[in-house]
């Protein structure tokens, strides 16, 4: 079976339950119970499901929204530290099967940078996963320069994960079925990533790496138009390169929640096989389905192996 490393694999710490539960209150009770059980499991069920689909290693991250919705920055700092310490202990028990992304208090950029450094240097985490904006502040804001500088110095990739927008998009107000994972999160996360690109973050920190799930939140399919329109309009924030340059050189994408041959092949055509990595989005997606998709998608053996595990091994220095 093809060796796989999965990057967007969620879990839960006791300290974060109160932040998470309101976000799933509307789910059917049976589904909520299954997801809750799997988020809190770090042993038999999770490992068994990984084994069945050839997932050799999962990089774990706390299910959102987490401390980023906490109003008190001091509480967010202390809670994120406890959650990261809890996660580190779970990884310690299965070091060959788990690694982790840091959960950060983005309310305080300096504290977030310090916690990222602690997690990478002391706990051997792979980087950080950030759940969208924090109280309306996006990662292109210049107050986050200290964070990007530290992430770049640590060679710590940042996984930008979807989260609710500050307010529901007007076009979606009468269609709740289009909000969140169906479409709303894609709009929010792709727009956030473009703010980072167009805001010059990668000009200031050219070694920084951003990861987007769900096959890049549609950005691989937009490169030509982004470049074309960037050149057409007057630039208040001139960039050193065209937008596509940063998407091809500073971004990685994963297959989480997108088991589509067409989407993967198009993404490889746009970005190259070296910029795409396997993911599942467990327990919100099915490991068996994602694993079978990776085994069967029409790719040559080299590209398949790179996407399934090789690119992650290289980016996170796992081998």
Give pLDDT, residue 170: 95
Specify the pLDDT at position 48. Answer: 97
Catalytic residues: 281
What CA–CA distance (Å, rounded) separates 40 from 206?
Answer: 37
Short-list 249, 274, 254, CA closest to 162: 254
Q: 181: which 2 tokens? A: 């994972």
Is 177:146 a contact under the CB 8 Å cutoff?
no
pLDDT tier for residue 18 given thresholds of 50, 70 and 90: very high
Of the listed ranges 18-32, 49-63, 148-162, 176-190, the least confidently predicted one is 18-32
pLDDT at 236 (0 to 100):
81
Asked if residue 148 has pLDDT above 80, the reply is yes
281 pLDDT tier (thresholds 50, 70, 90): very high
Is the pLDDT assigned to residue 25 strictly greater than 90?
no
pLDDT, tens digit, 9 for 90 and up, residues 245-261 = 999 999 999 999 999 99
Q: For residues 131 and 162, is the Cβ–Cβ distance under 8 A? A: yes
pLDDT at 83: 98
Candidates 29, 113, 19; CA nearest to 68 is 19
- The pLDDT of residue 23: 82
Has residue 319 got a pLDDT over 80?
no
pLDDT for the residue 166: 95
- Among 24, 34, 61, 55, smallest CA distance to 289 is for 55
| 0.95 surpassed by pTM | yes
Q: Which two tokens stand for residue 163?
A: 């989260």
Of 146, 57, 66, nearest in space to 100 by CA: 57
Q: What average pLDDT does the chain have? A: 96
How many Cα atoms are found within 13 Å in the side-chain-facing hemisphere of 73?
9
pLDDT above 90 covers a percentage of the chain that reads: 94
Judge whether residue 27 has pLDDT over 90.
no
Question: How far is Cα 105 from Cα 103, in angstroms, rounded to an integer?
Answer: 7
pLDDT of residue 26: 78
Report helix, strand and coil shares of the chain as percent, to nearest 5: 55, 10, 35
pLDDT at 22: 87
CB atoms within 10 A of CB 255: 30
pLDDT at 40: 97
pLDDT digits (tens, 9 = 90+) for 203-238: 999 999 999 999 999 999 999 999 999 999 877 889
d(CA 78, CA 111): 10
Q: How confident is the model at residue 100 (pLDDT cuts 50, 70, 90)?
A: very high
């Amino acid at each position: 079976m093809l060796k796989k490393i999965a990057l967007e694999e969620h879990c839960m710490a006791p300290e974060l339950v109160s932040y998470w539960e309101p976000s799933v209150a509307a789910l059917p009770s049976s589904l909520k119970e299954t997801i809750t059980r799997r988020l809190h499991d770090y042993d038999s069920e999770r490992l068994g499901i990984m084994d069945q689909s050839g997932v050799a290693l999962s990089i774990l991250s706390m299910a959102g929204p987490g401390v980023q919705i906490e109003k008190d920055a001091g509480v967010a700092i202390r809670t994120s530290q406890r959650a990261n310490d809890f996660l580190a202990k779970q990884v310690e028990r299965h070091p060959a099967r788990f690694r982790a992304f840091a959960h950060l208090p983005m309310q305080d950029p300096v504290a977030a940078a310090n916690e990222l450094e602690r997690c990478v240097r002391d706990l051997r985490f792979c980087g950080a996963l950030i759940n969208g904006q924090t109280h309306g502040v996006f990662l292109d804001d210049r107050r986050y320069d200290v964070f990007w500088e530290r992430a770049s110095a640590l060679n710590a990739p940042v996984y930008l994960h979807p989260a609710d927008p500050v307010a529901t998009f007007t076009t979606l107000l009468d269609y709740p079925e289009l909000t969140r994972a169906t479409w709303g999160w894609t709009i929010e996360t792709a727009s956030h990533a473009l703010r980072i690109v167009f805001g010059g973050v990668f000009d200031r920190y050219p070694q920084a790496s951003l990861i987007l799930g769900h096959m890049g939140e549609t950005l691989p399919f937009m490169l030509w138009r982004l470049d074309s329109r960037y050149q057409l309009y007057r630039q208040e924030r001139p960039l050193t390169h065209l937008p596509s340059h940063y998407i091809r050189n500073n971004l990685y994408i994963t297959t989480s929640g997108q088991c589509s041959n067409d989407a993967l092949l198009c993404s490889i055509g746009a970005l190259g096989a070296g910029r795409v990595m396997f993911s599942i989005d467990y327990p919100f997606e099915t490991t068996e389905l994602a694993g079978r998709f990776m085994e069967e998608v029409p790719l040559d053996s080299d590209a398949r192996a790179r996407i399934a595990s090789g690119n992650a091994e290289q980016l996170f220095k796992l081998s």
